[in-house]
């Protein structure tokens, strides 16, 4: 199945859905994530928003990969997912640690890098 | 008939006996032994013993060397120890080996240096006995090192060796002046001595450099045989100074600065009186007899160079005379007997320089010798007083010591020293001083110097006997000095029972000098008198650059055979054939070249005359002299001693040398009588005398003199203080504030300022960074889009 | 010979690594052993060196490093390098000995850096590849930075001092790097694009540059070397660094690190840019002379004795530079001699001050002084080394100072033209020497002021003397004396037999002098062929500067 799809170059089932759609979804997801990251102060929410942006990029990668009939993008996304999973574990662990230090999840509590 | 080449060949230097190295080696051995004793914590007088033995060995070696030198024919010899400096292979090599140059001048100097050092070492073994232990070792280590340095100075075969000794004696002088290092005044005096000497050393060093550049060598053997130098000496003999390059003339002026520093001449004399902070044996050996005569040695050794310089010898003569007078006036007003002796040393050194300046190196060298003995004697006698009276040196607190039990030897010693210094007729000091003064009236243009020196001779007699009459004559009275806390001395005194009738401190007993001090004083007293003999014996024919010259006495024969015996530039006697100076007859004038021979050769072969060689003019010589006159180019007028030819070369129509016997003898007697009248006759106690009333009539002048004419204060306020202020407020502040502060740290602050400008962007808030990033990405995208639109990439 | 040289560099570095990985309590023993072991290859080098051919770089050997850029690990030593390496190796055990009780904490890092520093310094003197030279040159900063920053005396100031030391010298030497790279680039262009950083080759390349270019290259070189020397007015890092550095750090700083600057003058400024050097020598000489007197007078008003000695280094090194600028055999020999002798006497003075500081924890001459009555042995050594520093004949300061000044004096163009027998060179002249000679008087003033304050007079001890370090006796210990005695013997030997030192350097000096005076090196080194892969080729025949 996959091989035929790959050979045809254009997805048959979703003929009406073009690359632009994927990219649009990706962009929307990214902007949502960005807005969330910029507006929210809760570390966990912010963390989730970064994940959202991350996945947005992943969608774009897969879409282009499909579009160019090149597996590099998809391979890359699999790696990214792995990394993201590890990173999520690390990130959440860090968040818990940070929470323990300040008894708060607000990002504004942490500004030691102020110059 | 001698030529330049023959002259050079004659002065070819032979190789001397290798054991001459032992002369400096023995003191170094003594130094090592003293150091070893210090390291092993020695607590007895062994260091002194080792020192005296080593120095005596050195003296004996010197005597042996003297005979070896005589046997070898009396020329110059060199003894090489090892290669010291040797730079470069081709061209202008700077070569100076660690080697020794032995000629009559060397031996003359070394004989009294090592001899006196041995005696004074013996004296010091008793004198320093209160300090047995580490200090004792330190003293004798430095003492030995001094003798080593002095022998390098005198025996060195090149200017660099001389410089080694020169600075070496300076170091030892520094260490020994600062012997009582806990006393701030001693430390300051030591420092002053070293620094003032360094100023002179700079002159010496530059003279060394210039000698090397101009003559291409600093080795005496090559230098004094250098053809250029011989030509210059000849030109100077004709008064043709314009033929001599300025560089060559400058050498003497530079060396002179060094000599003035080491020999404490105006304006660099200020360190010597302060140097009396050192122990008295040091004052006697270093600051009276030997080290301070190094300047005289330098001038004598480089006499040819001084002759080639138009201004050097006149300056030397004038500076000497001014120093002699200045120091004598200060000496008159002092109350510290050691300081009086110090000023008299400065004054007598002035005489020596004046002697060198008025073309009688013999007079200078002879005065060095006589002065070495009698001044060492005077100092040691003063030291004995100081030692016995717990550091008392104020002549207002000591009186009539000759009557105190056990002080007769000191009194006699002091008396012998005083008559020598005062120039009482038929003493050694009398003859040596007269030679110099008389020569001032012989040398054209030097008359005023002679008058200054005569006046100074009168002052000298006065202040010398002022000390003697006050301290040793008159009613007996004494007060202890402030060194009574000395535990050993105090313990010794407690044991004694008071039985002497004293008018002074009743709890104080002077402790009379022991055998070491007394015997040294006795030997020196004998030597001082015996030195007179050298004025009458030891002359004879000597060989001067291939000429037979008759030397009048020992000192002259020694000087004539050395480098100090170069042809005097103004064979001044020749200008006045009817002068007494028929001594030309002594010269081997049969070798006078026929007319038509080039002048340089003529002049070179003119032998040296010491004007004090008095003979009658042989009739056949008169023609020669008149003939010589016609060949001489008259020297330019007004250039110092040699300048004005027209002056009479007689002393009111008499032979200056003979006249001086009476004039200076009379002046000396007058000074002594004056001192007796003012300081002895009718004196009731130590503190008051007839002079007190007279001094008041002079207003503030005696006080000014007592304060050394405020020369030290003048130097302090015009040189030291401004320099210190500049260093503190200009240089150090400039360095800290401008160079380091403004410029260096300024550069350092540039990044910091830039950083502080953009620092607010680092708020530390996560959202600020995120927004910044987002905006950045937007801006980038905008730019990309805009560029694409512009270039049409989007379409 | 090549192996000996490699061992000279490698042994201290490896030993340093071992110490870093070893145990704390073994650190100083290992370091002492290592410093002696490091001296073995140096001794070997001294024995194997062919003194008859001392201008040739002996023991040449090289190893591929970055072949695309022509950078090789290339070594070789001539007489000058040999003696400077020997000085470095001599100071090694002395530094360890001096730190024996002074360093109480973090010994491993201290001794490891100390040894690494030694390796790097030897590397500088042995390098025949520009990049190897530069890497070693810069690497010396790192250990010194650590030594000052971590082991300095004042916890606040030492950080400032270390930072200033690092940034100041680093900034200067970056400009030097730029200059060197430029020369290498020109060399590559001339060699049809094949890069080579062989010093012999690039020296020839730089000599062939037109005047303006040479002047710029010289300026770049001086930016690094003059700071390192340090030449007035870029000297202000030195007093601070010296004052704060631990004793051994000061000894190395004064003994060897400053000599990297004068070595750079000798090896690069003179050899690479001779005509620019000759042209600007008078200007630089004025700077050197100003430095001599200016720093000397500043010494005189110091109260911190270590700062005084530090400023005296500025003054003394002025003589050293002056001798180089005279560009004649006497002057340059004297200058190289100065590099060696200053290391001994000033290093020793820093040791003396260090020993005092260990006992009193102050260097302020207003609170401590008159120590001769309490520490006679110390005071004896102090006077001895001070006299060496004053330039007393018979000790090491004198020959070098004398030769530098004579060199300056005789280097008068008019005299050279007039054929005065003792004139050589032509860049400077008697007035330079006369004014610089005032520095001799000033040196006497400030050094005697120092001795007078600190050795002589009534005993003055700080009030808090209760916390006197009771591990140490009043006077010097046997260990301390053992550390000082070799230096004292060295001072005497240098002073009495300088010929033993001027002979091995004579040929190299001759080459340098001829290069400056004729504007071109006597022997040109052919451009190296394109990089080949031979591991270690020792071609001893390769000559040239």
d(CA C352, CA C487): 12
For helices C430-454 and C305-326, give the axis angle rounded to 10 degrees: 160
Confidence at residue C61, expressed as pLDDT on a 0 to 100 scale: 84
**Helix or strand run (H / E) with residue B84:** strand B77-87
For residue C230, what are the CA distances in angstroms to C68, C205, C224?
A: 35, 27, 10
Q: Do A107 and B774 touch (CB under 8 A)?
A: no
- Residue from B770, B772, B775 to probe the interface with A (highest A Cβ count within 10 Å): B770
Closest C-alpha among B728, B211, B203 to residue C440? B203
Confidence at residue B92, expressed as pLDDT on a 0 to 100 scale: 62
If you write DSSP's letter for every residue of B556-582 in order, what string do you get?
Answer: HHHHHTSGGGSPPS--GGGG-TTSSBG
Instruction: List the structure tokens of C231.
Output: 């030449």
Give me the residue from B762, B771, B774 closest to A113, CB to CB: B762
Closest chain A CA to residue B761: A115
Closest chain B CA to residue C328: B88
Residues in chain C: 545
For residue C123, what are the CA distances in angstroms to B258, C115, C132, C226?
A: 46, 12, 8, 20
Confidence at residue B440, expressed as pLDDT on a 0 to 100 scale: 84
Percentage of chain C modeled with pLDDT above 70: 94
d(CA B350, CA B345): 8
Residues of B in contact with C333 (CB under 8 A): 87-88
Instruction: Determine contact: B627 vs chain C, CB below 8 A.
Output: no
Q: Do A37 and B760 touch (CB under 8 A)?
A: no
Instruction: List the structure tokens of C348.
Output: 């020793």
C and B interact (at least 3 Cβ pairs within 8 A)? yes
Confidence at residue C378, expressed as pLDDT on a 0 to 100 scale: 92
Could you tell me which residue, A53 or B731, shows the higher pLDDT?
Answer: A53
Phi, psi of C364 (to 5 degrees): -80, 120
pLDDT, tens digit, 9 for 90 and up, residues C194-245: 888 888 888 888 888 888 889 999 999 999 999 998 888 888 899 889 999 9
Dihedral of alpha carbons B749, B750, B755, B757, sign? positive
d(CA B510, CA B145): 33
Dihedral of alpha carbons C393, C394, C399, C401, sign? negative
Confidence at residue B533, expressed as pLDDT on a 0 to 100 scale: 82
- Residue from B94, B160, B222 to probe the interface with C (highest C Cβ count within 10 Å): B94
* Residue whose structure tokens are 């072969």: B605
Do A107 and A43 form a contact (C-beta atoms < 8 A)?
yes
Do B310 and B256 form a contact (C-beta atoms < 8 A)?
no
Do B246 and B183 form a contact (C-beta atoms < 8 A)?
no
Q: 118-137 in B: which are within 8 Å (CB) of C?
A: 134
**Helix or strand run (H / E) with residue B139:** helix B134-155
Give me the residue from C297, C392, C498 closest to B171, CB to CB: C392
Give me the residue from A38, A112, A114 closest to B767, CB to CB: A38
d(CA B320, CA B641): 13
Distance of CA B89 to the CA centre of its chain: 36
Instruction: Determine contact: A102 vs chain B, CB below 8 A.
Output: no
8-state DSSP, B716? I
Category of B715 on φ-ψ map: left (φ > 0), alpha (ψ -120 to 50) or beta:
alpha
d(CA B675, CA B203): 40
Distance of CA B759 to the CA centre of its chain: 70
d(CA A109, CA A97): 13
d(CA C160, CA B754): 20
Do B310 and B367 form a contact (C-beta atoms < 8 A)?
no
Instruction: Determine contact: A32 vs chain B, CB below 8 A.
Output: no
The predicted complex's ipTM stands at: 0.91
Instruction: List the structure tokens of B65.
Output: 């060397």
Alpha-carbon distance C394 to nearest alpha carbon in chain B (angstroms): 7
Alpha-carbon distance B752 to nearest alpha carbon in chain A (angstroms): 12
Distance of CA C27 to the CA centre of its chain: 27
Residues of B in contact with A34 (CB under 8 A): 774
Residues of B in contact with C233 (CB under 8 A): 739, 743
pLDDT, tens digit, 9 for 90 and up, residues A3-15: 444 444 555 555 6
**Chains touching chain A, criterion 3+ CB pairs below 8 Å:** B
d(CA C16, CA C19): 5
Residues of B in contact with C506 (CB under 8 A): 87-89
For helices C2-21 and C79-99, give the axis angle rounded to 10 degrees: 20
Phi, psi of C286 (to 5 degrees): -60, -45
Buried b (16+ CB within 10 A) or exposed e, B551-568: bbbbbbbbbbbbbbbbbb
d(CA B734, CA B732): 5
The three state secondary structure string of B109-135 is HHHHHHHHHHHHHHHHHHHHHHHCCHH
Do C325 and C288 form a contact (C-beta atoms < 8 A)?
yes
Question: What SS3 state is found at C112?
Answer: helix
Closest chain B CA to residue A114: B764
Would you give per-residue pLDDT tens digits along chain C (545 residues)?
888 888 999 999 999 999 989 888 888 899 999 999 999 999 999 998 888 888 888 888 888 888 778 888 888 898 899 999 999 999 999 999 988 888 888 888 999 999 999 999 999 999 988 889 999 999 999 999 999 998 988 888 889 899 889 988 998 899 999 999 999 999 888 888 888 888 888 888 888 888 888 999 999 999 999 999 888 888 889 988 999 999 999 999 999 999 999 999 999 988 888 888 988 999 999 999 999 999 999 999 888 999 999 999 999 999 999 999 998 888 999 999 999 999 999 999 999 999 998 888 888 888 888 888 888 899 999 999 999 999 999 899 999 999 999 999 988 888 888 888 888 887 888 999 999 999 999 999 999 999 998 989 888 888 766 555 556 788 888 889 999 999 999 999 999 999 888 888 888 888 888 888 886 665 666 666 654 444 444 444 443 33
Alpha-carbon distance B767 to nearest alpha carbon in chain A (angstroms): 6
pTM, rounded to two decimals: 0.84
Question: What SS3 state is found at C365?
Answer: coil
Query: Which residue numbers in chain B have pLDDT < 70?
Result: 1-12, 88-92, 483-507, 543-547, 566-650, 793-795
Alpha-carbon distance B769 to nearest alpha carbon in chain A (angstroms): 10
Q: What share of chain A is helix, strand, coil (3-state, %, to 5)?
A: 75, 0, 20
Phi, psi of C426 (to 5 degrees): 130, 5
B290 CB burial (10 A radius; 0-12, 13-18, 19+): buried
Residues of A in contact with B763 (CB under 8 A): 111, 114-115
Q: Do B767 and A41 touch (CB under 8 A)?
A: yes
Instruction: List the structure tokens of B632.
Output: 């001489």
Do B449 and B409 form a contact (C-beta atoms < 8 A)?
no
* Residue whose structure tokens are 């008759």: B550
Residue A115 banded pLDDT, cuts 50, 70, 90: low
Confidence at residue C350, expressed as pLDDT on a 0 to 100 scale: 93
Instruction: List the structure tokens of C276.
Output: 């620019």
Confidence at residue C544, expressed as pLDDT on a 0 to 100 scale: 38
Residue ranges in B446-486 assigned as alpha helix (H): 447-471
d(CA C441, CA C542): 46
Dihedral of alpha carbons C157, C162, C165, C166, sign? negative
Phi, psi of B79 (to 5 degrees): -125, 120
d(CA B660, CA B436): 10
């Amino acid at each position: 199945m996959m091989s035929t799809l790959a050979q045809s170059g254009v997805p048959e089932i979703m003929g009406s859905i073009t690359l632009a759609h994927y990219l649009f979804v990706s962009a929307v997801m990214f902007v949502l994530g960005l807005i969330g990251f910029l507006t929210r102060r809760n570390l966990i929410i912010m963390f989730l928003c970064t994940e959202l942006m991350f996945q947005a990029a992943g969608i774009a990668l897969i879409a282009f990969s499909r579009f160019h009939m090149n597996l590099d993008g998809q391979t890359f996304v699999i790696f990214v997912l792995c990394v993201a999973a590890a990173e999520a574990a690390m990130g959440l662990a860090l968040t818990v640690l940070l929470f323990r230090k300040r008894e708060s999840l607000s990002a504004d509590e942490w500004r030691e890098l102020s110059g | 008939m001698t030529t330049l080449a023959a002259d050079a060949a004659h002065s070819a230097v032979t190789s001397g006996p290798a054991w001459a190295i032992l002369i400096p080696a023995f003191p170094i051995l003594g130094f090592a032994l003293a150091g070893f004793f210090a390291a092993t914590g020695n607590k007895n007088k062994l260091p002194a013993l080792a020192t005296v033995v080593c120095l005596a060995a050195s003296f004996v070696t010197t005597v042996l060397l003297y005979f070896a030198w005589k046997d070898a024919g009396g020329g110059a010899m060199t003894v090489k120890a090892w290669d010291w400096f040797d730079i470069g292979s081709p061209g202008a090599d700077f070569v100076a080996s660690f080697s020794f140059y032995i000629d009559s001048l060397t031996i003359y100097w070394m004989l009294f240096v090592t001899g006196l050092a041995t005696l004074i070492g013996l004296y010091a073994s008793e004198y320093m006995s209160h300090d047995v232990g580490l200090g004792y070792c330190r003293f004798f280590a430095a003492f030995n090192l001094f003798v080593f340095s002095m022998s390098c100075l005198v025996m060195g075969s090149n200017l660099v060796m001389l410089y080694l000794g020169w600075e070496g004696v300076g170091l030892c002088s520094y260490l020994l002046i600062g012997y009582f290092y806990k006393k701030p005044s001693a430390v300051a005096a030591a420092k002053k001595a070293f620094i003032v000497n360094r100023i002179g050393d700079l002159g010496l060093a530059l003279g060394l450099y210039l000698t090397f550049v101009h003559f291409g060598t600093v080795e005496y053997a090559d230098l004094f045989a250098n053809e250029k130098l011989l030509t210059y000496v000849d030109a100077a003999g004709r008064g043709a100074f314009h033929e001599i390059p300025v560089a060559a003339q400058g050498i003497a002026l530079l060396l002179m600065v060094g000599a003035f520093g080491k020999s404490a001449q105006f304006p660099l004399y200020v360190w010597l009186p302060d140097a009396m902070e050192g122990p008295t044996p040091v004052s006697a050996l270093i600051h009276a007899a030997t080290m301070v005569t190094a300047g005289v040695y330098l001038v004598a050794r480089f006499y040819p160079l001084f002759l080639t310089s138009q201004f050097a010898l006149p300056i030397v003569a004038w500076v000497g005379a001014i120093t002699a007078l200045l120091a004598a006036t200060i000496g008159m007003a002092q109350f510290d007997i050691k300081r009086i002796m110090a000023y008299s040393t400065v004054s007598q050194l002035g005489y020596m320089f004046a002697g060198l300046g008025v073309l009688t190196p013999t007079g200078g060298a002879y005065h060095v010798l006589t002065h070495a003995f009698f001044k060492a004697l005077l100092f040691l006698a003063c030291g004995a007083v100081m030692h016995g009276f717990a550091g008392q040196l104020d002549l207002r607190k000591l009186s009539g010591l000759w009557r105190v039990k056990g002080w007769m030897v000191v009194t006699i010693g002091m008396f012998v020293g005083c008559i020598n210094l005062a120039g009482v007729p038929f003493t050694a000091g009398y003859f040596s001083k007269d030679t110099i003064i008389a020569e001032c009236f012989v040398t054209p243009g030097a008359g005023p110097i002679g008058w200054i020196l005569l006046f100074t001779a009168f002052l000298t007699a006065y202040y010398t006997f002022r000390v003697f009459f006050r301290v040793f004559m008159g009613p007996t009275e004494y007060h202890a000095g402030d060194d009574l806390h000395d535990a050993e001395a105090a313990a010794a005194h407690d044991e004694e029972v008071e039985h002497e009738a004293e008018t002074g401190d009743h709890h104080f007993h002077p402790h009379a000098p022991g055998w070491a001090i007394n015997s040294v004083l006795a030997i020196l007293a004998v030597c001082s008198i015996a030195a007179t003999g050298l004025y009458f014996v030891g002359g004879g024919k000597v060989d001067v650059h291939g000429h037979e010259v008759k030397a009048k006495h020992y000192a002259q024969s020694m000087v004539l055979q050395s480098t100090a015996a170069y042809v005097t530039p103004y064979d001044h006697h020749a200008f006045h054939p009817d002068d007494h100076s028929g001594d030309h007859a002594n010269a081997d004038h049969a070798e006078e070249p026929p007319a038509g021979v080039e002048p340089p050769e003529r002049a070179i072969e003119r032998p040296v005359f010491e004007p004090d060689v008095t003979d009658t003019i042989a009739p056949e010589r008169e023609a020669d002299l008149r003939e010589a006159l016609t060949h001489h180019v008259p020297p330019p007028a007004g250039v110092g001693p040699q300048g004005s030819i027209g002056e009479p070369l007689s002393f009111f129509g008499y032979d200056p040398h003979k006249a001086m016997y009476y004039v200076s003898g009379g002046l000396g007697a007058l000074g002594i009588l004056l001192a007796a009248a003012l300081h002895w006759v009718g004196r009731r106690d130590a503190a008051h005398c007839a002079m007190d009333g007279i001094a008041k009539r002079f207003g503030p002048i005696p006080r000014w003199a007592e304060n050394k004419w405020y020369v030290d204060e003048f130097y302090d306020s015009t040189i030291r203080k401004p320099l210190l202020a500049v260093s503190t407020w200009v240089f150090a502040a400039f360095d800290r504030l401008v160079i380091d502060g403004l410029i260096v740290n300024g550069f350092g602050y540039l990044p910091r300022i830039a950083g502080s400008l953009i620092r607010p962007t680092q708020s530390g808030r996560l959202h600020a960074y995120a927004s910044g990033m987002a905006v950045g990405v937007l801006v980038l995208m905008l730019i990309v889009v805009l560029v694409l639109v512009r270039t049409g990439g989007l379409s | 010979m090549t192996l000996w040289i490699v061992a000279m560099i490698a042994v201290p570095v490896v030993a340093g690594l071992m110490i870093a990985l070893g145990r704390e309590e073994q650190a100083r023993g290992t370091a002492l052993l290592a410093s002696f072991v490091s001296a073995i290859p140096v001794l070997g080098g001294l024995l194997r060196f062919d003194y008859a051919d001392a201008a040739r770089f002996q023991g040449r050997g090289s190893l591929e490093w970055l072949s695309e850029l022509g950078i090789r690990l290339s070594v070789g030593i001539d007489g000058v390098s040999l003696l400077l390496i020997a000085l470095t190796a001599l100071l090694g055990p002395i530094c360890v000995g001096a730190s024996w009780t002074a360093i109480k904490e973090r010994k491993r890092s201290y001794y490891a850096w100390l040894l690494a520093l030694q390796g790097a310094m030897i590397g500088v003197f042995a390098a025949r590849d520009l990049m190897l030279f530069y890497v070693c040159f810069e690497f010396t900063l790192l250990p010194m930075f650590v030594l000052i920053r971590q082991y300095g005396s004042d916890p606040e100031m030492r950080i400032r001092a270390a930072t200033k030391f690092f940034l100041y010298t680093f900034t200067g030497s970056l400009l030097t790097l730029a200059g060197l790279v430029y020369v290498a680039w020109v060399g590559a262009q001339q060699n049809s694009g094949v890069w080579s950083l062989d010093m012999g080759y690039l020296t020839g390349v730089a000599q062939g540059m037109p005047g303006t270019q040479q002047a710029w290259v010289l300026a770049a070189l001086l930016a690094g070397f003059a700071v390192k020397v340090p030449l007035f007015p870029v000297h202000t890092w030195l007093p601070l660094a010296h004052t704060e550095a631990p004793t051994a750090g000061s000894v190395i700083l004064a003994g060897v690190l400053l000599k990297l600057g004068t070595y750079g003058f000798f090896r690069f400024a003179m050899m690479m840019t001779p005509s620019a050097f000759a042209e600007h020598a008078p200007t630089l000489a004025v700077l050197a002379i100003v430095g001599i007197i200016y720093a000397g007078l500043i010494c005189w008003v110091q109260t911190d004795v270590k700062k005084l000695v530090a400023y005296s280094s500025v003054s003394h090194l002025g003589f050293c530079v002056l001798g180089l600028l005279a560009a004649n055999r006497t002057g340059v020999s004297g200058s190289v001699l100065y590099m060696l002798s200053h290391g001994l006497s000033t290093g020793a003075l820093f040791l003396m001050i260090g020993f005092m500081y260990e006992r009193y924890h102050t260097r302020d001459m207003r609170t401590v002084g008159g120590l001769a009555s309490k520490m006679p042995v110390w005071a004896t050594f102090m006077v001895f080394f001070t006299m060496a520093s004053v330039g007393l004949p018979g000790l090491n300061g004198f020959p070098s100072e004398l030769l530098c000044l004579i060199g300056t004096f005789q280097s008068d163009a008019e005299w050279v033209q007039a054929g005065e027998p003792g004139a050589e060179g032509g860049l400077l002249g008697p007035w330079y020497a006369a004014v610089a000679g005032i520095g001799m008087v000033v040196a006497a003033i400030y050094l005697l002021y120092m001795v007078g304050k600190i050795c002589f007079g009534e005993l003055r001890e700080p009030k808090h003397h209760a916390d006197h370090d009771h591990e140490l006796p009043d006077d010097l210990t046997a260990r301390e004396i053992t550390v000082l005695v070799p230096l004292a013997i060295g001072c005497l030997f240098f002073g009495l037999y300088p010929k033993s030192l001027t002979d091995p350097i004579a040929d190299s000096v001759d080459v340098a002098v001829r290069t400056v005076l004729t504007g071109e090196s006597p022997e040109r080194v052919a451009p190296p062929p394109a990089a080949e892969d031979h591991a270690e080729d020792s071609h001893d025949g390769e000559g040239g500067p």
